[in-house]
Each structure stands twice: as structure tokens, then as C-alpha cells.
Amino acid sequence: MLLLPSVHAAKALWYLGQKIPDVTRTWQSHDYRQATDALKTIDEKQPDALPRRGGEYTGAVFERLINEENFRPQLDIYESLDFRREEASRILFSLKEIMRLYFDFSASRQPYGKEALSLMSYSIRQQAVLFDLTVEFWLTLSEEDQQSPERLEGLNDTKAAAAMLASSALDYLNLHQQFDQQALILYSYELGKTWPELFVHLPKAERERLLVKVVQISENHDLDEVQKTLSELLPVLTKIHDGIG
């Protein structure tokens, strides 16, 4: 049961005995941490009770998890860059933990298909924001610091994580048996909006490899709507790739 906050009480929200951060305001990393802990407890105690996208009682909770307003503190240039990078990193970590709750690859059919894919597309945007902030931080360093082994290792680790996430995001489009058609169609549309933001940061070899995958999906996917979305995405990605070189 979901109990919404009253106007007279503190902005507390309780779901199945677990406190959820106020869904009427922007969430920051500590809110995601609290929500992650609450959802883990709920999932352990009552299977198939995680918040649903568009759910009558829990839709507001899920929508806050993937609300783009949550990016605002990370993009606020009046906040310190160190704070914003740390926020982005911590939120991405929480999102990955939440995705583990929503994905169940031991099941023949994903019990939270629409929600799992929505979290994946939102995580793509979060990874892109983190990469933007990492590049911004990189540019503040001296040339000597930029070339230090520790800095280069950190940057390469970030690129590797971004490439892995981008590739996995495309792979989910081919899991026809695990996700229903409408979930995959919606997911492809959301990827079309968020994926270029991450693609621009990837190394040339990774971009070339992923472009091949996009072409394959745009030509061979079972769903015409997904083919269309990826076909429209392809020239956008090609222009980015050619522009970077």
C-alpha cells in the first residue's frame, strides 16, 4: 500500500513499510540511495511489488526515478564541479543497483519489462552526463596532469564503462522473447533520444562497431517500429561519427 504525503506532514512517503523520498521534488544522490535501500527490502519481502511505470499507486515513485529534472543539480554551473561529478557518479551507481532488481534474466519473460528498459535508457543519459562532467574536469587539468598514468587510467575506465553500457543498451532490443512488443517499441524511441549523447564520447573503434549493430537492427529487427526508429537514428550517429573523425 502506498501512502502519499499530506500537506500538513513532512514530505514522507511510505510504501509497504519502507520510506520513499518525496516524489514531488528533484532527487539527488542521497535520495536515490534511500530509494535503492527501500526497493531492495521490498523486493526481498514481497516479490513482484516494485513500483511500476504508469502504476495506479506506484507510478509516481517510478516516474521520479527516471525524471529528467533529477539532472538539474548535476548541470548547475553554480555548483562546484567536484560536487556535480560525485553526484553523477553516485546516482549512476544507484541506478545500476536498481536495474538489478528490475531485470531477471532467469525468467523466460521479464516481470518488469517496461520498467527495466526505461531504467536502462535513463541510465544511458546519466552515463552521458557523467562523461560530460568528466571531460569538463579533464579540461581544468594541466597538460602534465592530463598525461599522468592515474588520470589516463581513470579516463579510459570511464570510456570503457560507457562503451559497455551503450552496447548492452542495443543488445536488449534483440531480446524479443523476454520483452513484449510495446515495451521494445517504447524503449527504441527513448534510446533514439538518449543514445547519441553517450555515443559522442566513445572511442572511434567503439563507434564504428556500434554503428554496424545499429545498421543490423535497423534492417533486421522483427518489429517495423523499431526498424524505423533505428533507421532515423542512424544518420544522426553517422554525422556525429564523421564530425569527430
Grid coordinates of 164: 559497455
pLDDT at residue 8, as a whole number? 39
Of the candidates 234, 151, 245, which has an alpha carbon nearest to the alpha carbon of residue 203?
Answer: 245
Query: Which residue carries 519502507 as its cell?
Result: 18
pLDDT tens, residue by residue, 34-48: 999 999 999 999 988
Sheet holding 18-20, edge to edge: 2-3, 13-15, 18-20
Mean local confidence (pLDDT), 78-107: 95
In one letter, which amino acid is 165? L
In the chain, what percentage of residues exceed pLDDT 70?
A: 95
Contact call for residues 131 and 88 (beta carbons, < 8 A): no
Mean local confidence (pLDDT), 128-144: 89
CA 78 from centroid of its chain's CA atoms: 24
Contact call for residues 173 and 217 (beta carbons, < 8 A): yes
Average pLDDT, the chain: 91
Please tell me the distance from the alpha carbon of residue 31 to that of residue 238, in angstroms, as a whole number. 38
pLDDT tens, residue by residue, 48-72: 899 999 888 899 999 999 999 999 9
pLDDT tens, residue by residue, 25-35: 999 999 999 99
Contact call for residues 223 and 181 (beta carbons, < 8 A): yes
How far is the CA of 35 from the CAs of 9, 57, 77, 155, in angstroms? 20, 16, 26, 29
| Residue 9 clears pLDDT 70, i.e. is over it | no
Contact call for residues 173 and 226 (beta carbons, < 8 A): yes
DSSP readout, 90-128?
HHHHHHHHHHHHH--TTSSS-TTHHHHHHHHHHHHHHHH
Mean local confidence (pLDDT), 84-88: 96
pLDDT at residue 154, as a whole number? 80
